[in-house]
């Protein structure tokens, strides 16, 4: 059986959406396909996003920034936006059943020393982790309930 696709969108697809993709893939990867994209991709994954995800044993170094158009011909079951601009620019995908908006600060906007920027990336990663692990727990509960019905 084909796994349902959960697509995480952010404008630049360089930080928040990749962090969320990694966390959700760890939590749901056996049951869903997880991907991320952007409406105006930055064409890179932010090095500090890669670093803070490595701290929680997830490697983003193989990720690439993608345009949401790459997914327009796919059956997307759920779209989750993680920034306000992506929510406003979010198209409807063929077969899309669910849409959620979980906004987070953009850690790429962090100023200051490298240590201060890392602190912002860690804070946002941890916020994303709390929200997406709770979302994943709900999805897994729903799967167990439907399997037992």
CATH code of the domain covering residue 21: 3.40.50.2300
**Which of 19, 53, 68, 83 is the catalytic position?**
83
pLDDT of residue 147: 79
Choose the catalytic residue: 68, 90, 110, 128: 90
Q: In whole angstroms, give the CA distance from residue 12 to residue 66.
A: 9
pLDDT in tens, 98-138: 889 999 999 999 999 999 999 999 999 999 999 999 999 99
**Total domains present in the chain:** 1
Give me the domain span that covers residue 28: 4-148
Q: How confident is the model at residue 6 (pLDDT cuts 50, 70, 90)?
A: very high
Residue 10 annotated in active site: yes
The yes-or-no answer on residue 15 being catalytic is: no
pTM: 0.91
| CA nearest neighbour of 108 among 11, 15, 37 | 15
* The token pair that represents 139 in the structure block: 């999805």
Active-site residue 83, yes or no?
yes
Q: Given 6, 10, 86, 128, which residue is catalytic? A: 10
């Amino acid at each position: 059986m084909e796994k349902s696709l959960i697509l995480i969108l952010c404008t630049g697809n360089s930080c928040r959406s990749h962090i969320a993709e990694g966390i959700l893939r760890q939590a749901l990867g056996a049951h869903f396909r997880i991907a991320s994209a952007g409406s105006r991709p930055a064409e890179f994954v932010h090095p500090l996003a890669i670093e803070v995800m490595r701290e929680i044993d997830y490697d983003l170094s193989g990720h690439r920034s993608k345009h949401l158009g790459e997914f327009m011909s796919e059956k997307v079951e759920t779209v989750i936006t993680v920034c306000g601009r992506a929510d406003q620019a979010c198209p409807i995908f063929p077969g899309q059943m669910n849409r959620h908006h979980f906004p987070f600060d953009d850690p790429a906007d962090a100023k200051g020393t490298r240590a201060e920027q890392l602190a912002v990336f860690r804070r946002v990663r941890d916020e994303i982790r709390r929200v997406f692990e709770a979302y994943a727990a709900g999805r897994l509960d729903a799967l167990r309930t439907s399997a037992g019905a």
